[in-house]
Structure 1
Amino acid sequence: MDNKVAFNCEAKGNPPPYYRWKLNGTVIDPGMDYRYSLVGGHLHISNLNKDQDVGTFQCVASNTVGTIVSKEAVLQFAYLEHFKTQTRSTVSVREGQGVVLLCGPPPHSGGMKMFIKEP
């Protein structure tokens, strides 16, 4: 799996807009974290970190005339914690008899998701 993601944002204006991105309402400063880069309106994040990068992203495009804000995009991560390694008691059955062995999965979440939040 690639350990990177890109969010795309494009706005037109005269004068041309400049772009900023927010994560959970806080402006992202690409100069403060090498993992973030801003190319035009496109935000690229490398070396994803589920503790730092999960949340709601929003593009802000501005020029001297005004500012426009994108819909929110949400980034979530998949995870699967380790199975319990404790030894379970032995179960004896006769040949041909049915048996049920209980095995609950560890805490988990599905695949990485990105989606746009509709109002």
Structure 2
Amino acid sequence: MAGKRRSYDAEFREGAVRKVTETGKSAAEVARDLGVQPGTLQNWVHRARTRADAEAAGCLSESARDELRRLRDENARRRQEIAELGMERECPQAGFIADQRTEHGVPQTTACRALGVLVTV
């Protein structure tokens, strides 16, 4: 039969988490000292670390946000380049088709049809 579920106030939970993070003791040791189930304390520590990571991520400086935006844009460009290279490997005319689409606004299906190539998306 399951025992009565204990309830711990926020101050107690925060103090227990601090003991784990600041003393370097394992969660099991601190839990044993406090009379708390080790899994319960590990959950509290995990939530506290997740919350701290989220707060730290939200505190980016303006230059760090600009750098993150620039890197995400670069990543998107690289993914597009990789996709185009994969298409070129499958279809030698893919580069020509991409140029026609870019320079003259020729739809991909039209260019593929003109070259007698199967349309790939």
TM category, shorter: under 0.3
Greater strand share, structure number: 1
Scaled by the length of structure 2, the TM-score of the pair is 0.20
Scaled by the length of structure 1, the TM-score of the pair is 0.20
With a CA cutoff of 8 Å and minimum separation of 6, indicate the structure with the bigger relative contact order.
1
